Structure 1
Amino acid sequence: MTISLMQAILLGLFCGIAKCCIPYTTGAFMFNTVIFNAVIIGAVMGDMTQAMIIGASLQLIYLGVISAGGNQPTDPCLASYVAIPVAMVSGLNTTAAVALAVPVGLLGAQLMNLDYLLNGFFAQRGDTFAEKGDAAGMTRWSVIYCGIIRALMFAVPVATALYFGSGALQGILDDIPKFVTNGLSAMGACLPAVGFAIIANLISKPRYMPFFFAGFFLIQYTKIGTIPLLLAGLFLTFLYITFTIKDYKGEAEDEDEIMAPLVVADEQAKQKFMEEESVRNVIEIAEGADVAVFGIGALDYNSTIMNTDIIPPGEYDRLKDKGGVGEILCHVFDIEGNLIEDSFNKRLVSISFENLKKIPIRVGVAYGKEKRQAILGALRAGIVNVLITDMQAAEYLIAVEQ
């Protein structure tokens, strides 16, 4: 079995397209999984069964791989498009294919780092068009051109390696000593266990462990199929959440949570809470942060702080009369970014505006027409130095500043 030129081009093209999926969007996780791409590879190679067998083995080592902070330690997608076709052509068993996928996945992570570096040039060009209010130009440079470069960075090496390298690789594999291939097979057999260990560590909260072991023993000793077990698991999960939801409300999963009311009766009560060691420790942790991410809320009757009764209607009217347009961590400010002089702001048990400004990176998140003035006030206050918003709000901000 060999890889034809058309197959190599198609596999490279599909790999490039999969890598161009925008992260955190619908389907992004799916396009980066081995098992999904194994279906495409099987269709192109004309052997769906073998592609799925190899793909299922490869998927095990990536079960617990997560992109912490956007940093992807390995690339399951590239590993799929190289290791699965090569294994199919060369006759490698699944364990050896797993061992082959590991270095390829690490190479893919380095290619992504190179892509991020190159994107800096396109992002600067996109910023130039954004300053001019040219949405089309910004989209071309920040989205389309970046996508084309990323697609080519993965499609060309994959297509080239599969077409020109499969025959050479077969010869190399034939010359590899038996003890080396046996070692690769042994290492490949261990890697799925590592994947299971990682995913088990992620779900190792004591309250979830009985479900984990129950599923294991059911499938091991009753020989129940995975699909019936999955359906039973979904049903039990629904029941568990339904009958324990009240236990989760108000439960502090994180130790770094302020165990105090957000708004207190007066400034004296606030001072008392701020002197509590548990509250003071959390405030100090927040003040020492390198990055702060927070929402920018509008001050209107549909806002979160009104719907959750944080601001009583009487105080809301008073804050609006004084020019309040938005809030960050319930600190209410006007369109010029000035804190509203009002007792409400002085009764918040929270990090102060002044200390929030001392955090190096301050990411504000808001979008929509109703939050435009709130976003403008937050920018003018200097409380936000990184803004995540939509096109409508961005165009409004550019127009106002011009």
Structure 2
Amino acid sequence: MTQRAYNFNAGPSALPLEVLQQAEQQFLNFQNSGMSIMEMSHRGAIFEAVHNEAITRLKQLYAIPENYEVLFLQGGASLQFAMIPMNFLQADQQASYVLSGVWSEKAFEEAKLFGTPIIATSSKDNQYRNIPNLTDIQFHEQDAYVHITSNNTIYGTQWQEFPNTGEVPLIADMSSDILSKPIDVRQFALIYAGAQKNLGPSGVTVVIIRKDLLEKANTNIPTMLKYSTHADSNSLYNTPPTFGIYMLGEVLKWVESQGGVAEIAKRNEEKAKVIYDAIDNSNGFYYGHATPESRSLMNITFRVADEALEKQFLAEAKAAGFVGLDGHRSVGGCRASTYNAVPLEACVALRDFMITFQQKHQ
């Protein structure tokens, strides 16, 4: 087999090698059907079993209570930016948004089309280097909901604990850190996540939604944009992204085989520490974008102090087999995305490359 790249892409991102190999073996003839799963009817018994098994596995891995629905949708997190206010924000209502990066800004802007979004707090003045303090969040009892983004891929920040919003529904975009560590799903009324970072290939969006919130949704909206449409039909109202759901199910099996979410979290901490230590021990040759208390375990953002050397660093890293280390176009610099499927060996290799590069150029 050709040497696999050290894949630090921010999304679509690395998938577990075991999952890719399993999919390769099953690709042409799934369960002796004589067909690929990509060719099967989504109404057939074989795919329906795959679909339902994926839902069950996610519920088990995240200890999702019975009063929640798990939906497999399309359109990515970006469609959720609009679907959420469309379903839960009336024209005469307000909702609070915590701004911690570009994606929360985009969600905030979409909400303006349907009601009145309020900025509960923001770390934009600090170039989104930190997650806002919980004590600074100003939401209101009359809010339709409070929206947060749990991990910020562009800036490399992550919530370490979540706000207690009481009776006000808490909604979280967890696209880039879902299943990376244990959470208490009961803290949230709705969680949504694009699959292409920790759950599988692009094309599937997971929504975990509390049933009492679902019952309060607006009804005078297009059928396909109602959460109830998909909840009532087990996410099979129209043709779903069948291959993506199959792959998501295989990734969930892999998470189970690794010891579950708690074990994955330990590995993620170990992986991130390897690279953060290289930054922190470089005497300023490298420096991080995020403040230490807000650092993400999923997206490690950093700069090379010498801008000319930074371009050389990225070029040499690419030549050495490291993929996806360029920072987001809006902020530049470097970014290593260490999602669940990125092996420790890749992080160690990056650390060693960073140290060697520093030694050559200091």
**TM-score (normalizing by structure 2):** 0.22
Larger radius of gyration: 1
Which structure features the higher share of helix residues? 1
Which structure has more strand as a fraction of its residues? 2
Q: Which has the higher contact order (CA 8 A, sep 6+)?
A: 2
TM normalised by structure 1 equals: 0.20
